[in-house]
Structure 1
Amino acid sequence: MQIDLSKKTAIVTGSTAGIGLAAAVGLARAGAHVVVNGRSEDRVETAVRHVLAEVPGAHVSGVAADLSSAEGVESVVKAVPEVDILVNNVGIFGPKPFFEIGDDTWEAFFQLNVMSGVRLARSLMPSMMERGWGRVVFLSSESALNIPADMIQYGFTKTAVLSLSRGLAKLAAGSGVTVNSVLPGPTYSEGVGEMLKDMAEEKGLSIEEAGTEFVKSERPSSIIQRPASVEEVANMIVYACSKEASATTGAALRVDGGVVDSIVP
Structure 2
Amino acid sequence: MDLGLKDKLALITASSGGIGFEIAQALAREGTHIIINGRNQSSVDIAIQTIKKQQPDAVLHPLVADNGTALGTQETITNFPDVDILVNNLGVYEFVGFFEETDGDWLRLFEINILSGVRLSRHYLRRMLDKKWGRVLFISSEQAVNPWLRIPHYIATKAMQLSIARSLADLTKGSAVTVNAVLPGTARSDGVKKLVRKLYPTMSPEEAERQFLTDNRRKHSPDDLLDPREIASLAVFLCSTTAASTNGASYRADGNVIAA
Normalised by the shorter chain, which TM-score bucket? over 0.9
CA deviations 1:9-30 (Å, max 9, x no partner) are 0000001111000000001001
Q: Secondary structure at the match of 1:124?
A: helix
CA deviations 1:108-143 (Å, max 9, x no partner) are 100110000000000111111111110110010011
CA contact (8 A) 1:4 1:31 kept: no
Task: Give the aligned partner of residue 229 of structure 2.
Answer: 231
Report the Cα offset of residue 223 of structure 1.
5.5
Partner residue of 1:241 out of 228, 239, 248 = 239
What is the alpha-carbon distance in structure 2 between the residues aligned to residue 102 and residue 213 of structure 1? Answer: 28
Structure 1 runs (4+) greater than 3 angstroms displaced: 198-201, 220-224
Of 69-78 and 46-55, deviating more is 46-55
Q: Secondary structure at the match of 2:251?
A: strand
Task: Give the aligned partner of residue 47 of structure 1.
Answer: 47
What is the alpha-carbon distance in structure 2 between the residues aligned to residue 218 and residue 92 of structure 1? Answer: 18
Task: Give the aligned partner of residue 140 of structure 1.
Answer: 140
Task: Give the aligned partner of residue 220 of structure 1.
Answer: 218
Task: Give the aligned partner of residue 62 of structure 2.
Answer: 62
Report the Cα offset of residue 199 of structure 1.
4.6
CA contact (8 A) 1:24 1:36 kept: yes
Q: Secondary structure at the match of 2:122?
A: helix
Alignment of 1:67-82 (within 5 A): 67-82=67-82
Task: Give the aligned partner of residue 258 of structure 2.
Answer: 260
AA aligned opposite 2:61 = S
What is the alpha-carbon distance in structure 1 between the residues aligned to residue 182 and residue 81 of structure 2? Answer: 24
Task: Give the aligned partner of residue 109 of structure 1.
Answer: 109
Task: Give the aligned partner of residue 161 of structure 1.
Answer: 161
What is the alpha-carbon distance in structure 2 between the residues aligned to residue 14 and residue 222 of structure 1? Answer: 29
What is the alpha-carbon distance in structure 1 between the residues aligned to residue 101 and residue 216 of structure 2? Answer: 22
AA aligned opposite 1:176 = A
Cα 1:210/1:4, change in 2 over 3 Å: farther
Aligned residues: 260
AA aligned opposite 1:201 = P
What is the alpha-carbon distance in structure 2 between the residues aligned to residue 216 and residue 104 of structure 1? Answer: 30
Report the Cα offset of residue 200 of structure 1.
4.6
Task: Give the aligned partner of residue 126 of structure 1.
Answer: 126
CA deviations 1:171-224 (Å, max 9, x no partner) are 112311000001111110111101110355323x22x44223432443233364
Report the Cα offset of residue 3 of structure 1.
2.5
CA deviations 1:131-159 (Å, max 9, x no partner) are 11101100100111122221001000001
TM-score (norm 1): 0.94
Q: Secondary structure at the match of 1:98?
A: coil
CA contact (8 A) 2:213 2:221 kept: no
What is the alpha-carbon distance in structure 2 between the residues aligned to residue 216 and residue 249 of structure 1? Answer: 35
What is the alpha-carbon distance in structure 2 between the residues aligned to residue 28 and residue 88 of structure 1? Answer: 17
Report the Cα offset of residue 40 of structure 1.
0.8
Q: Secondary structure at the match of 2:36?
A: strand
Task: Give the aligned partner of residue 189 of structure 2.
Answer: 189
What is the alpha-carbon distance in structure 2 between the residues aligned to residue 219 and residue 79 of structure 1? Answer: 41
Report the Cα offset of residue 97 of structure 1.
1.2
AA aligned opposite 1:183 = L
Q: Secondary structure at the match of 1:163?
A: helix
What is the alpha-carbon distance in structure 1 between the residues aligned to residue 54 and residue 220 of structure 2? Answer: 31
Q: Secondary structure at the match of 2:68?
A: coil
CA contact (8 A) 1:4 1:242 kept: yes
What is the alpha-carbon distance in structure 2 between the residues aligned to residue 111 and residue 237 of structure 1? Answer: 24
What is the alpha-carbon distance in structure 1 between the residues aligned to residue 160 and residue 199 of structure 2? Answer: 31
What is the alpha-carbon distance in structure 2 between the residues aligned to residue 56 and residue 200 of structure 1? Answer: 39
Cα 1:145/1:40, change in 2 over 3 Å: same
Task: Give the aligned partner of residue 92 of structure 2.
Answer: 92
